[in-house]
Amino acid sequence: MEQWHGWDKVSYESDLDHQFADEITSIPGGEKLFSCIQCGTCSGMCPLSTYMDFTPRQIVAMIRAGFRGEVLSSYTTWLCASCYSCTVACPQEIKITEIMYAAKRIALRDGVHPKRFPAQVLAGEFFDGVQRTGRSNEGPLLFRLFLKTKPLKMLGYAGLGLGLFRRGRISAKIESIKRKGELRTLLKTIENEHWVRRSPRSEHKETTK
């Protein structure tokens, strides 16, 4: 079925983004990424690496080498369940889980994430809900999520939803904090700072210029 059309596997330097690693490693402690020895402990520990298109180790290598497009559009980061087994086992103390988050954030911002998974929708819904009410409301959240992503599958989960409802473990009521204004002010102030963190490496580059 697959037909070979011929491809060019060379990556030209002009295809790569050498600022990408600096952008990713601007997270606190992110510079440890450059210490990677490519041992694969992360991938071996990861319970989800077997489903990923690139293993976590490969993602680290790709970030370091500047494969921006490939990293941001890969499924790997969206398959990360944030279980931190890679992070605590990494012999070089690279915060791999946080690197995954950083890649997810950039992919969402740039709109280049893979469209197959609804993970980003969940993230977005969660975000909006919390901004509004100060709390996450699992019932309404799940409801909206399924409406947005797979309305037909809703039926399959309807039983579960009903079961939860009957057992008093989910409700349609929206929980909210009292002092919403306080939270809004806090988040607004931070937003207005338009703060961008720099990686130590990119700062170093600047000072030595």
Partner 1 sequence: MSAEMSTNGAPKVGVYVCHCGINIAHTVDVNACTAFAASLPYVTVAREYKFMCSDPGQEIIQQDLRDGKINRVVVASCSPLMHEGTFRKATAVGGGNAFMFQMANIREHVSWVTLDKEMATDKAKALIAAAVSRVVHHAPLVRNRVPVHPDVMIVGGGIAGIHAALTMADAGKKVYLVEREPTIGGHMAKFDKTFPTLDCSACILTPKMSAVRSHPNITLWTYSEVAEVSGFVGNFKVKVRRKPRYVKEDQCVGCLDCIDACIYKTAKVPDEFNVGLSKRKPIYVPFPQATPLVAVIDPETCIEFKTHRCKKSCAEVCQKDAIDFTQTEQIAEVEVGSIILATGFKTFDATRIARYGYGKYANVYTSLEVERMVNAAGPTAGEVKLADGSKPKSVAIVHCVGSRDAHTNRYCSRVCCMYSLKLAHLLKERTEAEVYNFYIDMRTPGKGYEEFYDRLLQENVHFVRGRVAEISDWAMEKQEEGKLTIRVEDTLVGVVRRIPVDMVVLSVGLEPQADADDVRRKFNISCSHEGWFLERHPKLAPVSTFTDGVFLAGACQGPKDIPDSVAQAGAAAAEALALIDRGYVELEPNTAYSREELCSSCHTCVALCPYGAITFDTTKHAAVVNGALCKGCGTCVASCPSGALQQNLFTDEQIFEEIKGVLKYV
Partner 2 sequence: MKYLYYPGCSMKSTGKPYEESMLAVFSALNQGLEELVDWNCCGATAYMSISELKAFALSARNFALAEQQAVNGETNLIVPCAACYLGLNKAQKNLEEHKDIRAIIDKGLASAGLSYTGRFKVRHPLDVLVNDIGLETIQKRSIRPLAGLKVACYYGCQLVRPYAEFDDAHEPMVMDRLVTALGGTPVPWPLKTRCCGGSLTGTIPEVGLRLSYILLREAQQRGCDVIATACPLCQFNLECYQPKVSKMYKERIDIPILFFSQLMGLAFGLDRRPLGLHRLFVPFDRTFPVAAAEGGAHVG
Of residues 87 and 199, the one with the C-beta less far from partner 1: 87
Comparing C-alpha atoms, which of 6, 97, 90 is closest to residue 42? 90
Q: Does 194 bind partner 2 (CB under 8 A)?
A: no
3-state secondary structure of 2: coil
CA–CA separation, 42 vs 9, rounded Å? Answer: 26
Q: Which of 25, 26, 58, 137 binds partner 1 (CB under 8 A)?
A: 58
Q: Does 147 bind partner 2 (CB under 8 A)?
A: no
Q: Does 45 bind partner 1 (CB under 8 A)?
A: yes
- 87: tokens are 């992070």
Interior angle at CA 87, CA 86 and CA 88, nearest 5: 95
Q: Does 202 bind partner 1 (CB under 8 A)?
A: no
CA–CA separation, 54 vs 76, rounded Å? Answer: 6
Min separation Cβ 134 and partner 2, Å: 4
- Rounded to a whole number of angstroms, the distance between the first and last alpha carbons of the chain is 54
**Using CB distances below 5 to 8 A depending on partner kind, what does residue 155 bind out of partner 2, partner 1, none?**
none
Residues 57 to 116 in contact with partner 2, rule: CB under 8 A: 78-79, 81-85, 87-89, 97, 101, 104-105, 108
Min separation Cβ 69 and partner 2, Å: 19
Displacement of CA 162 from its chain's centroid (Å): 31
Min separation Cβ 44 and partner 1, Å: 3
The amino acid at 171: S
**Using CB distances below 5 to 8 A depending on partner kind, what does residue 183 bind out of partner 1, partner 2, none?**
partner 2
**Using CB distances below 5 to 8 A depending on partner kind, what does residue 6 bind out of partner 1, partner 2, none?**
none
CA–CA separation, 69 vs 15, rounded Å? Answer: 9
Count of all residues that appear for the chain in the document: 209
Comparing C-alpha atoms, which of 67, 69, 38, 37 is closest to residue 55? 38
Of residues 38 and 171, the one with the C-beta less far from partner 1: 38
The amino acid at 127: F
Chain contacts with partner 2 (rule: CB under 8 A): 27-29, 47-48, 51, 78-79, 81-85, 87-89, 97, 101, 104-105, 108, 117-120, 122-124, 126-127, 130, 134-139, 142, 145, 160, 163-164, 167-171, 175, 177-179, 182-183, 185-191, 193, 195, 197
